[in-house]
Structure 1
Amino acid sequence: MASIRRRGDKWQARVSRHGFPSETKSFASRQDAERWARSIEQEMDRGSFVSRSEAESTTLKEIIERYIDEVCPDKRGGTDEIIRLRATCRSKLAKLSMAGLTPKAIATYRDERLESVAPGTVIRDLAYLSSIINHSIREWGINITNPIPKVRKPPAPQGRDRILSPDEEARLLSAVVPTGRRNPWLLPATILSLETAMRRGELLALRWSNVDLQSRTAYLPMTKNGLARTVPLSSKAIEVLSTLPHSIDGTVIPLRACTLHAAFKRACTRAQIANFHWHDLRHIAITRMATKLPNVIELASVSGHQSLAMLKRYYHPSATELARKLG
């Protein structure tokens, strides 16, 4: 039998049944408290009751923080993910309880984010949140239905095809030359990216123990797709690596991803280059490699792509070059 009592300006309902944990909830009126208690008792009688107390008492921020502490440390790229999730914790959405995560609340969060960031960023944010919510449901017993699949996603942006002109590339390389307070690792990192087509994470994780200057290779034991890859090194890449000092921690480029990102952004500003990201260097590198490695299998083995469709997103030949080949 449920017990209803007044506590301050609220009415508290408590349902206690053998074989079930006690359920307690407060309401503004006695009628609401009685109605809730009857519905809980009916679910217990039918054997369909599942407690939502933890979902109602736990906020999204608390779930994200637990995810950061328990899950992110074991993930590749966990450091970058933590930065993104810390920002999410400061949003209005994070203050809601897990039970309060309705499709309407998610849609409001989506629209607010679209006012300040690109659709691609919002799509990634929603994917992160969906993964965290599913993890809390499977592993931590949070009894809710993931609302994110019910929310319309922003249209996916077209793949980037930003390629530097010869003049822009000259200005960029001039802007990353280490003078004054500029980061001394930015120039070699930029050249190596253009010469090897490595992803930023792969380049920053590269260790001297995996670099063989004699055989002109760099071994990547773990890449984005979870597979190892050996990258051939061009003469320019060998030249750059040969001049680099060896850092104490054994990494070739001893920088954090956020540090490299900030330094490169400042360099693009100095060079007056707009709408250019670090990852665009990989597009340029693959496009150039395609002229030297016309065999798609060979090109994919260097770039690390597992499908031709994905590789095509990174290869940007000019119409003039194609016309010249046609004769």
Structure 2
Amino acid sequence: MAEYETKLRHQLMFGPAAIVAQGTIADAFASYLAKAKRPCPADILRIGKLNAQIGDLSLREPKRAWETFRLANLTGHAPGGQDRYRAVFQAAINTYYELHDLPPLKIKAIPFDNERVRFLTKEDRDRLIASYAPHVQPIITMLAFHGPRIQTALQMPWGVNGVDMQREAIRLNHSKNAVIQSVPMHPRVKEMLLPIWEKQGRRMKGHVFLNRFGKPYQDTRLSRVPGGNPIRNQHKTACIRAEINDFTIHDWRHHWASHCVMAGIDLITIMHMGGWKSLRMVQRYASVGVDHMRAAINKLD
């Protein structure tokens, strides 16, 4: 009874914070998973590891709990991987805090270099696209001229929710940021997709892109243990054929954004077409435009 009276006294004196302090990190993870509509399978694995290590610790000092886990388990991880653990931990804590009307917790992000910008010349672009296997070339053409992430492209359906050949538009479901944008179809992409659409009977549903066995590509985002890129080997082979070095599949997204800047498209439009959530995430491409203008001005006699 004395312990119960003490808890009630703390709740009256300190409000929701006292209730939260009585919970554990595991309670926060449970709240987060209950609220999430479709949590990433990789994040579920991260939560499992976090919960096993620090789930029984009190919510009084979540930052100390995080540092305990990070120092014991993540010191050998790449900074980007560490920050993903931090992000899901912070999201879980803040879900619990929100339920109890408390201000959100902010844990300092793990700094890592996410500023890579790699793009090809138009000549190298066309040579590399031609070096892919025929069934992969339409996929790469979409990456080069619309800039989606690889799984967004591979899982693209026919119809108004994907590739709409009748309206000559593409609805890009940027699921990573929960952003959906419908954009006009680039002529090069239409040229590649029209024969596929005709061959498949002008259908308005089903996957646009199929592998060499005529089956849809696996959506690795839904795997319990996320796999690699389904066309990684084809990309590696194409780069060797085209003699292109240091160019990843994701670099096609950088290539698209960089060429948008060089074509004079403003960063706000690029942000919306590419599905980025903030202007800060596309500002890395601004310097590409400056370099391009410098090269152009230097051509004047």
Equivalent residue for 2:118? 162
Residue 234, structure 1, aligned to residue 186, structure 2: yes
> Which residue matches 1:219?
171
TM-score (norm 1): 0.62
> In the alignment, which residue of structure 2 is the partner of 1:105?
65
1:289 aligns with 2:260: yes
Cα distance in 1 between the residues matched to 2:76 and 2:153: 33
SS at 1:263's partner residue? coil
Q: Deviations over 1:195-226 (max 9, x none)?
A: 21234464356431123335432234777666
Question: How far, CA to CA, are the matches of 1:105 and 1:129 in structure 2?
Answer: 10
Greater Rg by CA: 1
C-alpha change, 1:91 and 1:239, in structure 2 (3 Å) is same
Aligned to 1:9: none
Partner in structure 1 of residue 32 of structure 2: 67
| Change over 3 Å in CA distance of 1:301–1:137 after alignment to 2 | closer
Aligned runs of 1:115-264 on 2, under 5 Å?
115-117=76-78, 119-139=79-99, 149=106, 151-164=107-120, 170=127, 174=131, 176-177=132-133, 186-200=136-150, 202-204=152-154, 206-210=156-160, 211-220=163-172, 228-244=180-196, 246=200, 250-253=206-209, 254-255=216-217, 256-258=219-221, 261-264=228-231
The one of the two structures with greater contact order (alpha-carbon pairs below 8 A, sep at least 6) is 2
In the alignment, residue 116 of structure 1 is paired with which amino acid? H
Distance 1:84 1:98 in 2: 20
Where does the alignment leave 5 or more consecutive residues of structure 2 unmatched? 210-215
Aligned residue for 1:231, secondary structure, equals strand
Give, in angstroms, the shift of residue 322 of structure 1.
Answer: 3.3
CA deviation after TM superposition for structure 1 residue 280, in Å: 2.1
Note the aligned Cα RMSD (angstroms): 4.3
- Over 3 Å counting, the alpha-carbon distance change for 1:160 and 1:51 in structure 2 is same
Superposed displacement of residue 284, structure 1: 0.4
Unaligned residue ranges in structure 1 (runs of 5+): 3-14, 18-39, 179-183
Contact 1:223 1:229 in 2 (8 A): no
Out of 124-133 and 186-195, give the one that drifted further.
186-195
Question: TM-score when scaled to structure 2?
Answer: 0.66
- Tell me the percent identity: 19
Cα distance in 2, alignment partners of residues 229 and 45 from structure 1: 49
Partner residue, 2:212: none
CA distance in structure 2 between the aligned counterparts of 1:138 and 1:163, rounded to whole angstroms: 42
Q: Secondary structure at the match of 2:145?
A: helix
